[in-house]
Chains A and B, each alone.
Chain A
Amino acid sequence: MPADTIAFVVRRVGRATQSSIARLGFAARFFALVLYHSPAALKRLQLTLREIYFSGVLSLVIIVVSGLFVGMVLGLQGYDTLNRYGAGDSLGIFVGLSLVRELGPVVSGLLFASRAGSAITAEIGLMKTTEQIDAMEMMAVDPLARVVAPRFWGGVISMPLLAALFSVMGVFGAYIVGVRLIGVDNGTFWGNMQSGIDFWPDVTNGIIKSVAFGIAVSLIAVFEGYDSKPTAEGVSTATTRTVVGASLAILALDFILTVFMFRGAA
């Protein structure tokens, strides 16, 4: 390979690495500033409540419907597999643990990133494109406190609630399929679930995961929106980056958290 080509490739890789590190540093500084402005933003609770409505309440349909269907599929597949080993009665605990520990936080996190995360990025990006962010700054109002922090906290608060609702709907879906359609004993289904799932660590760890996902998705969403180029293409790119980045972050965080949380239990 000619020396020029090698130098070109090294330069490109170096520049890309440098730019990624700089962006990571910028994101970390941005996160620190969001936290710094959070007390002032949270004092005006109606701003955060409004964002909980947009991020949380408006995501209810997709969360409820997805949770129900995931639970129903889990009921069918779970019963089929468990029954091969003569453990069909353990459907309740299987479904409950799968949802509370894993599927609830992860799937609702992925749905939240697609529905609310992309909307937050697009909204902030469009505010930037239409000079609303500049206008706010020129009115001596800090957009980090007025626009970014309420959206960040709206997402962080909504995410665990949505994950909990997803798990509840999933259990309900599995109940419909397992108990009502397949004929698993009602008392066994609920009894096994009740005795096999502990609040600590099962439910608590699920909640911790969903909070971590909420922080990751909300931070990526507000950062990408705030850092987007003020053009139609810039907003579109930022929205895509939010969905891809947040989804990958959820999956990576899930693995890391699972390793630490369930190491002892496994």
Chain B
Amino acid sequence: MPSDARPPLAAPTCPTEIAVELADVSFGYDRRRPVLTGIDMQIPRGKVVAIMGGSGCGKTTILRLIGGQLHPQAGRVTVAGQNVRDLDRDGLYALRRKIGMLFQFGALFTDLSVFENVAFPLREHTELPEELIRDLVLMKLNAVGLRGAWQLRPSELSGGMGRRVALARAVALDPMLVMYDEPFAGLDPISLGVVGQLIRKMNDALGITSVVVTHDIYESLKIVDYIYFVSAGRIVARGTPDEVKSSTDPFVRQFVDGESDGPVPFHYPAKALAEEFAHAG
């Protein structure tokens, strides 16, 4: 199925060709230490796009900027043609109702069952009758292979199952955009493959757009359409999976080959070794 075609049962898709755009975005929690600098990114409708980079490079901050939890100090973040910064609280909440998000460790509500977790957005934002909510929840759980686990508590789920329940919850309202924050972190190889395939299949079946923040290069190369590499708050490389595989860019090579030293240094900045141990001589 072409990725920009709208399937018959899908939710309203993004009205613009470019679902998410970051234009010259800079952000820092304080002005002396910028987290992101001059980020330019375009995420086309219907595509699965990965944002990759080492820990602490600012990947998750990009998701928070897209979701309007943070606002850039410079530049513009546009989602479905709307400048996120211009939205008031109601406007932002209206936009968020069209966005699903899967958090790093699922962020399931621990006081609710699996069923109630998936039903949560439906109960909060719709007035659907209980029978319909039940059917919708079981359909979403069936899509992630966990219909039989509807009565379990989050504490009874494995990491991979929790991530799948969180995915079912993220798509409960049939969003136009789903953001995944480290969806593969801490998963065994089987769960990792399952979650990866679900992200791709959900994207294509529901006609949504997906942004995946991850540092799992191998799983990402299998499922995404395009990859941005972020290092020290800047985009340092970009390309399709094939371009990434054949890239000679030192950063991309270090990332793909898992080298411990390179453009991303092994050592945290420190004084020169000779200077540090000068007293020994």
Contacts and interface: CB of A to CB of B under 8 A. Distances in A.
A137 B67 CA distance: 9
B97 A134 contact: no
Contacts of A135: 101, 103, 107, 109
A138 interface: yes
Given A139-B96, A140-B96, A140-B97, A134 B103 contact: yes
B94 interface: yes
B120 A139 contact: yes
A139 B67 contact: no
B29 interface: no
Contacts of B150: none
Interface string B90-112: 00111011010101110111100
Contacts of A141: 120-121, 124-125
A79 B92 CA distance: 66
Contacts of A146: 124
B124 A132 contact: no
Interface string B69-84: 1000000000000000
Nearest to B109: A132
Interface residues of A, number: 13
Given A137-B69, A139-B120, A139-B124, A131 B105 contact: yes
B105 A130 contact: yes
A138 B105 contact: no
Contact of B101 (A127, A138, A142): A138
Contacts of B109: 132, 135
B155 to A, nearest CB: 12
A130 B124 contact: no
Given A138-B99, A139-B96, A140-B97, A132 B121 contact: no
B234 to A, nearest CB: 25
A48 B103 CA distance: 27
Contacts of A132: 107-110
B66 to A, nearest CB: 10
Given A140-B93, A140-B125, A134 B120 contact: no
A120 to B, nearest CB: 13
Interface in A128-155: 130-132, 134-135, 137-142, 146
A154 B83 CA distance: 39
Contacts of B105: 130-131
- The listed residue with most A CB atoms (<10 A of its CB), out of B69, B92, B107, is B107
Contacts of A137: 69, 96
Nearest to B94: A140
Given A131-B103, A132-B108, A139-B96, 17 more contacts: A130-B105, A130-B107, A131-B107, A134-B69, A135-B101, A135-B109, A138-B67, A138-B69, A138-B96, A138-B99, A139-B101, A139-B125, A140-B92, A140-B94, A140-B96, A140-B124, A141-B125
In order of increasing CB-CB distance, the 4 nearest A-B pairs are A135-B107, A131-B107, A140-B93, A140-B96
16 contacts: A130-B105, A130-B107, A130-B110, A131-B104, A132-B110, A138-B67, A138-B69, A138-B96, A139-B120, A139-B124, A139-B125, A140-B92, A140-B93, A140-B94, A141-B120, A141-B124
